[in-house]
Amino acid sequence: MHLASRHERRPAATGRGWAVALTCAAALVTSAAALPQAQAATRPATSAAAHRPGTDRAALAEALEAIHTAGMYGTYAAVRDGDTAWRGAAGVADRDTGRPVTPDMEQRIGSISKSMTAVALLQQVAAGRLDLDAPVSRYLPGLVPGQRGDRITVRMLLNHTSGIGDYVLYAFPSLQTLSTSSLDENRFRHVDPRELVRMGVQAPPTGAPGEKWSYSNTNYIIAGLLLGKLTGEDPERYITRNVIRRAGLRHTYFPRGPRITGPHPKLYESFYGLIDPPRDYSVYDMSWAGTAGAVVSTMADLDRFYRQLLTGRLLPAAELAEMKTTVPMTDAQDNVIGHYGLGLIRFDWGCGTFWGHSGAVFGAETWALSSPDGRRQMALAYNLSKYDKLAADGTVTPGPIDDAVNTFVAKALCAPTTGSPALRSARVDLAPAHASEWRSLPAARR
């Protein structure tokens, strides 16, 4: 059933413009004026931190509050520098009641799950059970039909150079006609991972195997099936025991039902203005994301995960080096916008290099980044997704929320000391990674 008109609107963008928006979605932007309920419920940022000279707790709290002031409903973050931990929150978890967000709320972390899936497969490489450069057909014969299965390697799955299309527009087909009705129709639908793979391999290829980088969730659903084949157990259970628990994560899990089990905010989805006002999708069957993006976590747990990973506690040195071997990430015009490893993104900014990933699912967006030595981490989440305003041609112009997010990340990662000149010289642009969440989707059709 088509959504009621009060929940769905079509911006002035042309059909071609919306195709661009769906295939090449760039920085997440909106204006403060577009979110009056969030503005009306403004609350001071709350924070907690161990005292350590050089950690500017007030600056972090102020920068987090600025994200909410710019128009985000609620945002929460955790920053760690060695033994010093800071946590903060600003804004509302529920725009109707004004219930505040808190620093330890659980979040659907989307594609940050890919880092965990990649770690689990690299553990199989370390154990001698998996060859990164072997074809997928060696382990999963027939899953990717024809010669493609013989040409696509495990490495190509993990670094998104397989050329396999993304299944998302086929799992939610109404999006192809610029309707969001599929999001509601499939809220409680359980999807088998092999069905998702079938959708992806039947989608138009994004290139020849190994030709170029093109983000596709299908790659990591196949990775999960491969993990299950190698270990003989449910891949989510394997990741839970050998990655999540091994890293000491206490509030991280694959959900076994549609509900987040711990304290969490409502998760509001705008989908580039198609859903107006944004609607809550915090209750959702996440089998559609599986080993590509279903994990729930907290910001403190994400800090710990990347710290454990980059300090060698989850993988041997050789496999960690493989994980950090990158290919160029490119946009629709083939401009290099970043560097993708095996479930890791490398960010090169004026203040240094950082490793991590971004995640975006319906209603939730998350960033998690770490210094290469694993000393300093930052994880940031918010509860309004795809809030962009689009021009008539479907392009996105960064707005106040993006500026505020970039400022917070710069203060969290580039300026650990008050007045650090690194902050003034740093160029922190998070747009490329979130562009990867949607740029590989097939073009929408009128």
- Alpha-carbon distance 280 to 383, whole Å? 9
Say if residues 93 and 265 touch (Cβ distance below 8 Å).
yes
pLDDT 10s digits, 14-33: 443 444 344 433 223 222 22
The per-residue pLDDT for 387 is 83
Residue with the larger pLDDT of the pair 321 and 37: 321
User: What is the three-class DSSP state of 426?
Assistant: coil
* Per-residue pLDDT band at 67 (split at 50, 70, 90): very high
Compute CA distances 331 → 176, 180, 264, 359, 442, whole Å. 21, 25, 34, 18, 14
* Per-residue pLDDT band at 6 (split at 50, 70, 90): very low
Catalytic residues: 111
pLDDT 10s digits, 95-151: 999 999 999 999 999 999 999 999 999 999 999 999 999 999 999 999 999 999 999
Residue 38: pLDDT over 60? no
Q: What is the mean pLDDT of residues 81-86?
A: 94
pLDDT 10s digits, 246-288: 999 999 999 999 999 999 999 999 988 889 999 999 999 999 9
- Alpha-carbon distance 77 to 300, whole Å? 8
- Alpha-carbon distance 436 to 446, whole Å? 23
Please tell me whether the overall predicted TM-score, pTM, comes out greater than 0.95 for this model: no
User: What is the three-class DSSP state of 346?
Assistant: strand
- How many beta carbons lie within 10 A of that of residue 229, not counting itself? 14
Q: Residue 15's Cα: distance from chain center in Å? A: 26
The ranges assigned to domains in the chain are: 5-435
Q: What is the mean pLDDT of residues 67-91?
A: 97
Q: What is the mean pLDDT of residues 154-166?
A: 98
Which residues on adjacent β-strands are paired with residue 357? 368
Mean pLDDT of the chain: 85
Question: CA angle, corner 395, sides to 390 and 398, nearest 5?
Answer: 70
Residue with the larger pLDDT of the pair 53 and 392: 392
Residue with the larger pLDDT of the pair 440 and 155: 155
Does CATH number 3.40.710.10 belong to domain 5-435?
yes
Q: What is the mean pLDDT of residues 335-357?
A: 94
The per-residue pLDDT for 273 is 84
User: Residues 6 or more apart from 360 whose CB is under 8 A from it?
Assistant: 110, 111, 366, 385, 386, 434, 437, 438
Compute CA distances 387 → 29, 296, 384, whole Å. 6, 21, 7
